[in-house]
Amino acid sequence: MSQLVVLVVFGGRSAEHEISLVSARFVVASLDRSRFLPVLVGIDKAGVWRLLDEPQLPKRADPRENRVDESAPRAWLLPTPVPGGRGRLEVEGQEPVPFDLVFPVLHGPLGEDGAIQGLFELASVAYVGSGVAASAVGMDKVLQKRVLAHAGVPVVPFVSFGRHELEAQADATLAACARLGFPLFVKPANMGSSLGVSRVADAGGLRAAVDHALAYDTTVLVEPGVRDCREVEVSVLGNEVAEASVAGEIVVTHRDGFYSYEAKYLDAAGSRLSVPAELAAEHAERVRRMALAAYAALGCAGLARVDFFVSGGDVYVNELNTMPGFTAISMYPRLWAASGMDGTMLVTRLIELGLERHAARAKLQTSR
């Protein structure tokens, strides 16, 4: 059997560019080479696609030093199907490279928000992960909370507003935030990796936190801090029929007092993962059930990590990540490893799910 060519796409014009490179390294290392052949495409910080060789994948442990090589040959995908059914990567000055599926290992806006998934749909190529709508809703914390709440999945109460509303009526907008009760968490609606997220202890720090969030997105989300908050996560894998991993917990000890960018990526002592989470059996069962309900409510495909806040007997879904961190130490693969599935089995299954979803959608009727 000849190998399937997997286009691994990473980097991107997002603040999570650097993390994406570390995730891509894990995915490439986990590919079963007897079945799959990787072709690497790094999207540089300017948004230009570059065809890279495997040794060019950055190996540095500190994500801040990772960047896609901006001198590698330019590559692109045409937003139109190629006759014969396979995808075709165009490369500057070289023959086009045929491929069978895209594995977008991209986090954050333009990678995880449906934008690039739309390009794959137009080009009619198979890809790993959620489609346009679930990716977009998964990226937007405000839309996501509305969809989850509508489906009966408990979420933390919130207010949201745009820059325009803040400028038109600053006092009323900030007062509405304060009424939620301090401490508050202020976040950009569309981002990840805790970028732009602040914990605000009192009214004095609110405006600066809002302005900080507005540097990352035009919409801001403000919610009360959950007291005695435990952070529990569940990995979900599947298409219409999905399964949930065991739950894991992130125990945050960082001086920021929450799971900040520093605690996530820069300070190994800032947090630790506890797998499986030490939860009472009925709580563990409840979060797994809620993870599947949240996954179905958004209509996710392939994979998602569902993050919870657990406080005493209360459980809230904080957010879904449709392309969760995929580094060797990341929760998503670790939870599957604890559920008996290693990195290679997981990556293989994700590719199969992408191919299955593509095949099912290709059968849909396109005329009356």
Q: Which residues bind ligand ADP (CB under 6 A)?
A: 156, 185, 187, 191-194, 197, 223, 225-226, 229, 231, 258-259, 307, 309, 318-319
Cβ atoms within 10 Å of 280's Cβ, excluding its own: 9
Query: Quick one: 161 or 309, whose CB is closer to ligand ADP?
Result: 309
Q: In what order do the strands lie in the sheet with 302-311?
A: 271-274, 242-252, 230-238, 302-311, 314-321
> CB–CB of 242/234 below 8 Å?
no
Please report how close the Cβ of residue 295 comes to ligand ADP at its closest, in angstroms: 17
Cβ atoms within 10 Å of 244's Cβ, excluding its own: 21
Closest residue by beta carbon to ligand ADP = 259
Please report how close the Cβ of residue 306 comes to ligand ADP at its closest, in angstroms: 11
Please report how close the Cβ of residue 321 comes to ligand ADP at its closest, in angstroms: 7
Query: Quick one: 16 or 100, whose CB is closer to ligand ADP?
Result: 16
CA angle 91, 93, 94 (to 5 degrees): 60
Which position has the token pair 């990473």?
10
Please report how close the Cβ of residue 277 comes to ligand ADP at its closest, in angstroms: 14
Please report how close the Cβ of residue 313 comes to ligand ADP at its closest, in angstroms: 16
Query: Quick one: 105 or 226, whose CB is closer to ligand ADP?
Result: 226
Query: Quick one: 49 or 309, whose CB is closer to ligand ADP?
Result: 309
Query: Quick one: 38 or 108, whose CB is closer to ligand ADP?
Result: 108
What is the H or E stretch that residue 314 is in?
Answer: strand 314-321
Cα–Cα separations (whole angstroms), residue 3 to 139, 299, 313: 33, 30, 49
Which position has the token pair 């001086």?
255
